[in-house]
Amino acid sequence: MLGALLAGLLTGTLGGLASIIPETVRLWALAPIVAVIMLFELAGRPLSLPQNRRLVPQDVIPRSDFSGPLQFGFEMGTGVRTFTPTALPHLLVLIVVLAGGLGPGLLAGLGFGVGRALMPLTRALSDDPRRWDTKLLASTAWVGRLCATGFLLSLALLWT
């Protein structure tokens, strides 16, 4: 989560710099991007945006000392190594930069960190990790739609 908070701090800082652009210009620039990404997400066909498509090495995860989870969290949280099957993290960064600021950036980083931590935790706690992987892959489109719907609801709550 520390890595995600660091990324959130950086994103929020960029949002502060973007505040010199009038708010109406930022929001009108953001609206069509949100619409396009949401259409693809809700259709179950997420856009493939730039990302570092390397996963954290498997030897990092089972380390019993504090360094393994710390390295995993930092690399996943900051996006140094990550694979995202959705464009929602990219959209979140864009929204924080254009419409958020430091507070929303830190909250987004915290939320992203919690979400990233839940994936390996639920997998590790499952009775059969391979079966868990199979179920996740089989339901990726529906998970994406659910996340996109939650994302839209969050935006609606924030902008009302």
Output the pLDDT for position 80. 65
Rounded distance between C-alpha atoms, residue 146 and residue 115, angstroms: 14
Whole-structure pTM value: 0.70
CB 104 within 8 A of CB 96: yes
Q: What value does the mean pLDDT take over residues 58-80?
A: 67
Q: Maximum distance among all alpha carbons in the chain?
A: 52
Label residue 81 by pLDDT band (50, 70, 90): low
Count H helices, E strands: the chain? 7, 0
Residue 154, pLDDT score: 79
pLDDT one-digit tens code per residue, 140-160: 888 888 888 888 887 787 666
The four Cα atoms 48, 51, 55, 56 give a dihedral, to 10 degrees, of -150
Strands (E), 26-119: none
